[in-house]
Amino acid sequence: MTSADGTGFDTLAIHAGQEPDPRTGAVNVPIYATSTYAQDGVGGLRSGYEYSRSGNPTRDALETLLAALEGGVRGLTFASGLAAEDCLLRTILAPGDHVVIPDDAYGGTYRLFAQVLGRWGVTFTPASMSDTDAVAAAVTPQTKALWCETPSNPLLGIADIAALAGVARAADVLFVVDNTFASPYLQQPLALGADVVVHSTTKYLGGHSDVVGGALVAAEAELGDRLAYHQNAMGAVPGPFDCFLVLRGIKTLGVRMDRSCATARLVATMLSQHDAVAEVLWPGLATHPGHEVAGRQMRDFGGMVSVRLAAGEQAAVDLCGALSVFTLGESLGGVESLVEHPARMTHASVSGSPLEVPADLVRLSIGLETADDLLDDLAKALG
């Protein structure tokens, strides 16, 4: 994957938006810890900055970098992934509008639609994003957007981005792709027809479990401008230190993803041969229903692996507690491997909804530890 001028992904990750500091030559973007900027006379801005909610050089560098990595025209960053989603939805929707959402969306995304935007008069229909016809059938005259997450959290469902872009175009609705699980290193939704990409930068982009953040990247300037207006008007911006952490994390995104994907393949293969495991959900397995589509639209199959335990819910909970190299905790995409029980943890908010996740499911985020240590940990914990 390269930029329009042929520059490789890893070169962009290290250099786009990150020219050495013009004053000192510092190779890293400085952390501009300032809320305001001195003016030379009223309205006399020295370099375009007036107040850090509206703009900050460290944040600008990250936003430029994200736009370059996703192949978009405008990147915007936020205090969390959900803040990014909220800004996007309240920019593009009005009361009475309808959205088609994944029937296996991240629990927090579902909660935003059901508990926040619902009260604001927005309706939604969950549909299986791996079934393009079902998505097209869920579109109504009130539909303004189609929201997709691929691979999905935590069921690792795969949606055909190019096919869904066709559905969105035919219905004249905005097409949003949450690219958090893949990262722009593995998948570039804008090139496949998406209008805007969403990220929780908390995950692979930050990559070290030390920051919470979110981002949007727009394919077109007009939408980018509207989002930028709302980013400032709504105000959920990240601080400069958080932006610096994400900038630093992104420099190693490619090498981290390569290692994580390679170890995920070993873990998925080992687990699929284990008697205690009823099903392994990882798009790299030939048996995964989305394997062919994922192979077409992703560079590799990702570092997230979910498993369903043959003995049911208690076995899933026990596995979470029995691992020692994997840390039991929410989130994903960091250097350390994490394990969690979605039904009781990250996806508790979809309990009792059409998006409820199976209670026998365990989600693994494969980090960068020595692969054999992770395999041994799983083998011992499964017994």
Ligand X SMILES: Cc1ncc(COP(=O)(O)O)c(C=O)c1O
Catalytic residues: 53, 106, 178, 203
Residue from 52, 56, 77, 80 touching ligand X (CB under 6 A): that is 80
- Contact between 108 and ligand X by CB under 6 A: the answer reads yes
How many CB atoms sit inside 10 A of residue 39's CB?
12
* Residue 149 makes contact with ligand X by CB under 6 A: yes
Of 171 and 218, nearer to ligand X (C-beta) is 218
Q: Which residue is nearest to ligand X (CB)?
A: 81
Is position 377 an interface residue for ligand X (rule: CB under 6 A)? no
Binding residues for ligand X, rule CB under 6 A, total 15
Smallest distance, Å, CB 33 to ligand X? 22
Cα–Cα nearest to 157, from 197, 130, 133, 178: 130
- Do 200 and 180 contact (CB within 8 A), yes or no? yes
End-to-end CA distance of the chain, in Å?
A: 41
* Least distance (Å) between residue 210 CB and ligand X: 13
Residue 78 three-state SS: strand
* C-alpha to C-alpha distance for 295 and 292, rounded to whole angstroms: 5
Q: Taking the complex as a whole, how short is the minimal distance between the CB of residue 331 and ligand X, in angstroms? A: 6
Helices (H), 235-358: 240-250, 253-272, 291-297, 313-322
Please tell me whether residue 179 binds ligand X under the rule CB under 6 A: no
Give whichever of 80 and 231 is closer to ligand X, judged by the CB atom. 80
Question: Cβ(267)–Cβ(308) under 8 Å?
Answer: no
Point out which span in 6-14, 122-130, 175-183, 355-363 binds ligand X (CB under 6 A).
Answer: 175-183
Name which position in 18, 91, 143, 180 contacts ligand X (CB under 6 A): 180
Burial of 24 (C-beta count, 10 Å sphere; 0-12/13-18/19+): exposed
Helices and strands: H and E segment counts in the chain: 13, 12
Which position among 97, 178, 242, 300 is part of the footprint of ligand X (CB under 6 A)?
A: 178
Interface residue with ligand X among 81, 239, 283, 290 (CB under 6 A) is 81
Q: Which is nearer to ligand X, 30 or 108 (CB)?
A: 108
CA distance 205 to 207: 5
| Pairwise CA distance, residues 160 & 183, whole Å | 16
Nearest to 291 by CA among 147, 111, 150, 113: 150
12 vs 205, beta carbon nearer ligand X: 205
User: If we measure between CA atoms, which residue out of 104, 152, 112 comes closest to residue 357?
Assistant: 104
For ligand X, give the closer residue by CB, 68 or 212. Answer: 212
- Name the one range near ligand X by CB under 6 A: 176-184, 266-274, 360-368, 375-383: 176-184
Restricting to residues 13-52, which ones interact with ligand X according to CB under 6 A? none
Task: Provide the residue count of the chain.
Answer: 383
Q: Which of 56, 202, 337, 365 contacts ligand X by CB under 6 A?
A: 202
Tokens 């943890």 belong to which residue?
345
Give the nearest distance from C-beta 201 to ligand X in angstroms. 7
Contacts of ligand X in 211-230 (CB under 6 A)? 212, 214
Interaction between residue 82 and ligand X (CB under 6 A): yes
Mapped onto helix, strand or coil, the DSSP state of residue 36 is strand
Residue written as token pair 């932006």? 243
Q: Which is nearer to ligand X, 67 or 205 (CB)?
A: 205
Token pair listed for 335: 């250097």
Cβ of residue 105: shortest distance to ligand X, in angstroms?
A: 8
Of 91 and 180, which CB lies nearer to ligand X in the complex structure? Answer: 180
Closest separation in Å from C-beta 93 to ligand X: 18
Paired residues of 263 in beta bridges: none
Q: Are 12 and 69 in contact (CB under 8 A)?
A: yes
Residues that bind ligand X (CB under 6 A): 80-82, 106, 108-109, 149, 153, 178, 180-181, 200, 202, 212, 214
